[in-house]
Structure 1
Amino acid sequence: MHRRIHLLSLILLGSAHATPLPALIQRVEEQPAVKSALLQVQQTRLKLSAPGVMPTLSLDGSVGTGQSALTGTTDTSSSAGAGLAYGFITSAQQKAQIELDIQKLEADLNRARVAALKDLLAAEHAQRKNTVLVKQAELDLRIQQLELKTREARFALGASTATQVSQSQLMVKKAELTLKQQQAALRKSVQDLQRLKLADPQTLPELPTPPLDQPSFTSEVLQAQQNVLQLQLQGFKLGMEAFPELQLSGSYSNAGNTLSAGINQNLDAQLNYSRDFQGNVQESWNLKLSAKFTLDLTRGATQALNQSQLELALQDLVLKQQQLAERKTEFSQQLQDTLNLIEVSRQVQDLSLTTFKQEQERFKQGLVTEASVLQAESQLLKEQQNLQDLFQQQFELQLQLWEASTWYPQNGK
């Protein structure tokens, strides 16, 4: 009896203390799904420094030799040069697209982290719950054994039938089977903790709540933003096609040095320099402006269709943002309701604990049987199970709020 009281005290006190979160977060970062999602973010970030987004620098050179058919002399030639190309509009468009891709991948990374943390917390919850269920099964077995002992004694006095004794024996067997099943479940939950490299969770972790002003960028919202951006870029391209294609280019050469440059209506610019080491290039220059107009009779209809698609995409974006805000509000309300239930459950648990202690005192005074004490202890364990389930529900709602807020704690804070 005293051993069970001590175990109950550990359970009841354990739920009042907090476990540091950094250890769990470290385990999250070790999960394969999280590592894969983080690698995709890092790979996509490299695209921000790739040619096309950043100015493209090129170097070139050549060396050659040949024999003149007229004079028979051998001529050699060598040159070197450098070029710089940059599309101001194209680069800005590509950068905006890549940044959206990064945001989307970061949202996927956040989702993977939350899912991994949810699995870790579920494993800890299973271990804590199975520990209590084993204790509950032990109590139920003890209660059935006492009931069997009572009926056997009554049967010896003729106050009970053989059928009633058989029924009690059957109930003892069922309680023994239940205990074995719960012990097997507990062993499995301990093995799961070892596989996940988690310690025996004697206490509950504390999960922080995202800031109220935390901006939200879930994958669905970012995908809608991406659709809007693509249609906007398509509309810009169609609008530019309504104007002639312009190309301004020029060059200047003197004493083997040649400098050339060019730019078009899309602000795609090029700058090149070359050096002929033989100095055969004479002084010269040129400036050229060219224009090309493509006749497309379907352009107007295509622009109208693109505009209609853009309006629908904008409406879809607004709808998804509203749905996200509603989800955050719903999760916050459910979380508050759960916290209120936890407070009530704590009070009920305290009452059950008081009743259990009262039954112990009455048992010492000979006023009640051991079965009455066991019944009170069993009720106390049931309240503890209910409280544990509410804590797990609290964790799940907090993680859903993390995901909806695209938020994840750094170093457990």
Structure 2
Amino acid sequence: MTTAPTSAPVAAELDAADPLRAYRAEFVAADDPSVRAYLDGNSLGRPPAALRDRMSEFVARDWGTDLIRGWGTGWFDKPLTLGDRIGAALIGAAPGQTIVGESTTVSLYKVVRAAVAARPDRSEIVVDRGNFPSDRYLVEGIAAETGRTLVWIDPDPESGVTPDQVASAVGERTAAVILSHVAYRSAYIADMAAITRVVHEAGALVVWDLCHSVGAVPIELDALGVDFAAGCTYKYVGGGPGSPAFLYVAKRHLDDATQPIQGWMGVRDSFAMGQGYEPADGIRRFISGTPPILGMVPMESMLDLIERAGIEAIREKSIALTEFAIALADELLAPHGVTLSSPRDPAVRGGHVTIDHPAFAGMMDDLWHRGVIPDFRPPSGIRLGLSPLSTSFTEVDDAIRTIAMMLEERS
């Protein structure tokens, strides 16, 4: 039995016709021969090539010669100005509602606590068991801290949370509902509009985790009436390992919203060093301590590319990449018993595809050694993360061909 695919010429044709193909050359080492297929961009994106000069300039000028004066020439407001760029380009948020600051978990903690505090007479928090571990763990901690009860939703692991499931879980005791827009394992896109509406009809507030959608799927937080959101920047937003996250608070909540980590950068007059905490007006009150300016610099290079390409074009290529991956998996991997654990309908599928097989857990080291780099999600899933601006169709073809050959070797 041969598993050599017939799709290589098709991949080359798709790459040649790709309107975003030129962007691939704008990333560091995109054609490194030791990495035949990098399909983990939904965990860590490639660095933009322009970042080399930007970082050098930052060290030589912004930090090197401006020194402490940099706080007066842009650093102090960078959490807000960069947040506004993310708001405009990626999440459908008007200015003054988004900031960049701490880690994803800390940012989520802030907005979940704010949502719960805004409903002091309600005793329940709704979350789903398929959510990313940090989301579940921090909500468990918040429930313990605030004396709330958790209400768990059990979604289909190959899809995700539905509006009907949310409607069955919420009620007059619900303070907040915390969900991921795109499921981290299956890539299922939750119906943000319908779920937000259901939560509001129950009198509760909704918090959306945007980690696996921002930069790959168009998002319209303002238009859909979302209350709070947070997301990471090291996947499709190219901020680099552990880059600071962003959080969003709808304008209508800002005057009354409280956040639990009070720090000197979130007060009305940071440099007065005054006695007593007086929160700043607007979204600045959600800043805590000194923000990680150095960690924000890489995002600017990636946002330049995203703004130039446009999120709609990025989404169009994302769909094309995932459709191609699924078609190849059906042709080459399904005969080996590989199953698809992501939605087939592109309208409800984000930027990655998960495939499952009992042998995959033992194949990852060998795959990486061969220069094919996806990631693994227990118990048996290979997750193919496809970054539209840097991933080629040829990479997808090469990766799935290699997986097929390795399965055949094991058989």
- TM-score, with normalisation over the residues of structure 2? 0.18
Q: Which has the larger radius of gyration?
A: 1
- TM-score, with normalisation over the residues of structure 1? 0.18
